[in-house]
């Protein structure tokens, strides 16, 4: 049995994470908002800077490496609002070769345990429409739909 742990990122690990997060996030943006690659990369970089203005030291934001048997297999980024007792999952990312083996489910359990220890009462997240695998995981482990964002792209007349 492989043991999975969450380890808080240090500054060097955070810098590595952000370098890899920008193109991953840009790809999701490009798929969902239909932007070209360069604009999606700029958009992703700006959004991450806005969300994490103090980087790894941004208050309320916790960034973790997902470690299995001393090997980095993914990342977790959550935000905790201690006043409202709510949390938001910005990202759970498991490297492709480790997916479909219950690792995402185990990581979500570890996050829930951490949140319960912190007396957090709600765990929220957003899932992109194209991400059927994540949607199934979240539904299976007890997340409920509380709203659905929808979009229709328009072609303005020039």
| pLDDT tens by residue, 108-144 | 999 999 999 999 999 999 987 778 888 888 999 999 9
Predicted TM-score (pTM) of this structure: 0.86
The tens digit of pLDDT for each residue in 78-104 reads 999 999 999 999 999 999 999 888 999
31 has pLDDT over 90: no
What's the confidence (pLDDT) of residue 106?
A: 94
**β 61-68/71-81 pair status:** antiparallel
What's the confidence (pLDDT) of residue 33?
A: 66
Selection from 37, 105, 31 nearest residue 66 by Cα: 105
**CA dist 70 → 67, 73, 110, 140 (Å):** 6, 9, 17, 28
SS3 86: strand
Residue 43 in contact with residue 26, Cβ under 8 Å? yes
SS3 93: strand
């Amino acid at each position: 049995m492989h043991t999975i742990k969450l380890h808080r990122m240090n500054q060097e690990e955070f810098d590595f994470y952000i370098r890899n997060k920008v193109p991953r996030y840009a790809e999701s943006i490009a798929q969902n908002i239909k932007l070209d690659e360069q604009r999606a990369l700029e958009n992703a970089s700006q959004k991450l800077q806005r969300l994490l203005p103090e980087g790894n030291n941004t208050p309320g934001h916790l960034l973790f490496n997902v470690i299995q048997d001393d090997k980095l297999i993914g990342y977790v980024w959550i935000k905790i609002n201690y006043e409202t007792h709510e949390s938001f999952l910005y990202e759970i990312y498991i490297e492709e070769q480790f997916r479909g083996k219950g690792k995402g489910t185990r990581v979500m359990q570890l996050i829930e345990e951490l949140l319960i220890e912190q007396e957090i009462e709600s765990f929220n997240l957003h899932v992109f429409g194209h991400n059927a695998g994540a949607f199934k995981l979240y539904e299976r482990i007890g997340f409920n739909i509380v709203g659905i964002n929808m979009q229709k792209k328009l072609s303005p007349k020039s």
